[in-house]
Amino acid sequence: MNDETKPFSGTGSRGETPNLYAPVEPGSDMSTHLAGGPPTRPEDRGRANLVLFLGLLSLFMCGPLGIVAWIMANADLKKIRDGVLSPRQASTLKIGRALGIAGTVVFVVSIVFIATLLQRGITGLGGWTETSPLPPEQIVFAGEWTGKKGTLIRIRPDGSGDFRSGRASVTGGKVRIDKEHLSIGLMGISKSWHIDVPPHLEEGTWQMKLDGELFVRKAEGLTV
């Protein structure tokens, strides 16, 4: 008798004979009954979309989210390699991880750049805010000066000063005086006047003329 005419032996691939006549519970899968157990397959429940979303946010809103996307993507990709998760989400996870890495790099570079700017700004700010006492030849400028056009100037012996002119004003600024100009400034806001006539005593009052405006110094508390 040849192989084609042999009757079905009823043996499995491993020589085991499945019990074809064992009772099958209602609602059960016949293929599962014959195979000897339920087939296992990777799960599709991954976090690929979340990783992609976090990676995008890290580029535009919050850099630390890139680190989270990076870590989550690596964890899920490892599960794919281990056969726990379905490989269909691998490409999305890799894109999200790349975006997370880019967002992390941008965040770190931004922090370093801002810190450098702040350090340089604070270092350079001293030249604009630190005052030095007026030299003896300029102490005559110290006092509170009121202009005929409404400008108010206060100059202190320690080299600080205030001014109010129209809508512009500065309090606690640095005073600079040379032969022709007087200026008071603070943090980029400054006002400069041309010294037409330096401070001098006239008819019992101290006066000076800046930019064509006559100023009279308040008499109290003067040191000349």
Q: Residues 161, 155: contact at Cβ < 8 Å?
A: yes
pLDDT at 44 (0 to 100): 58
Q: Can you give the residue range of the structural domain that contains 85? A: 48-128
Has residue 187 been placed in a domain? yes
Q: Is 13 helix (H, G, I), strand (E, B) or coil?
A: coil
pLDDT at 147 (0 to 100): 94
Has residue 175 been placed in a domain? yes
Last residue of a domain, one of 87, 104, 128: 128
Last residue of a domain, one of 100, 128, 156: 128
Has residue 110 been placed in a domain? yes
Has residue 13 been placed in a domain? no
Q: Are residues 66 and 102 in the same domain?
A: yes
Distance of CA 127 to the CA centre of its chain: 27
Q: Are residues 95 and 113 in the same domain?
A: yes
pLDDT (tens, 9 = 90+) of the chain, 224 residues, equals 444 444 444 444 444 544 444 454 555 444 444 444 444 455 556 688 899 899 888 888 787 888 899 999 999 999 889 888 888 888 988 999 999 999 999 888 888 888 877 766 544 444 555 678 999 999 999 999 999 999 999 999 999 999 998 888 888 899 999 989 999 988 777 889 999 999 999 988 999 999 999 999 997 644 33
CA distances from residue 58 to 89, 90, 100, 115 in whole angstroms, order as listed = 20, 20, 6, 20
Number of domains forming the structure of the chain: 2
Q: Are residues 81 and 116 in the same domain?
A: yes
Alpha-carbon Rg for the chain, nearest whole angstrom, is 42
The most distant pair of C-alpha atoms in the chain lies apart, rounded to whole Å, by 145
Q: Are residues 119 and 140 in the same domain?
A: no
Q: Are residues 142 and 211 in the same domain?
A: yes
pLDDT at 63 (0 to 100): 79
Query: Which tokens is 188 given?
Result: 């980029």
pLDDT at 117 (0 to 100): 72
Q: Residues 91, 136: contact at Cβ < 8 Å?
A: no
Last residue of a domain, one of 84, 110, 128: 128
Has residue 23 been placed in a domain? no
pLDDT at 112 (0 to 100): 87
pLDDT at 159 (0 to 100): 92
How many whole angstroms separate alpha carbon 154 and alpha carbon 130?
17
pLDDT at 89 (0 to 100): 85
pLDDT at 20 (0 to 100): 45
How many whole angstroms separate alpha carbon 61 and alpha carbon 105?
14
Q: Are residues 109 and 56 in the same domain?
A: yes
pLDDT at 36 (0 to 100): 46
pLDDT at 203 (0 to 100): 87
